[in-house]
Amino acid sequence: MKKLFIVKHKYDFDRIIKSKNRRKNDIFIIYSVTNDLPYARYGISVGKKLGNAVYRNRKKRQIRSIIDNLEKGYIKNKDYIIILREKGKYLEYQELNSNLKSLLIEGKDKK
């Protein structure tokens, strides 16, 4: 994932989460809001309750990999915040992939 496609700033995270446009399941919460850019941007959050820094960074790398592999199916002109919930702590890559894909594709079909 290129740095251009990443939501980095706290004020962007706050703006997207305050929009309250969300989809969720047992594993993920995904907030989204329309942006003025010709591409989608993504922010990933894994809370401290889920583990130490090494573990959290591993989960973030897995989620980034899933996003890179599914990038063709995303809606353009959107900002996304993807939050991993506690039930996703022990899931393997394939299970994370199927859950995230189902949420993102479900959201695309509604548009």
Asked if the model's pLDDT at residue 105 lies above 80, the reply is no
CA–CA dist 6, 108 (Å, integer): 20
pLDDT, residue 84, reads: 93
* Confidence at residue 109, expressed as pLDDT on a 0 to 100 scale: 44
Please tell me the predicted confidence (pLDDT) of residue 107: 59
Q: Kindly report, residue by residue over 58-93, the tens digit of the pLDDT.
A: 999 999 998 888 766 566 788 899 999 998 888 899
Instruction: Give me the domains of the chain, ranges plus CATH numbers.
Output: 3-110 (3.30.230.10)
pTM as predicted:
0.85
DSSP labels, 3-23: GGGB---HHHHHHHHHT--EE
pLDDT for residue 88: 87
Gyration radius (Cα) of the chain, Å: 13
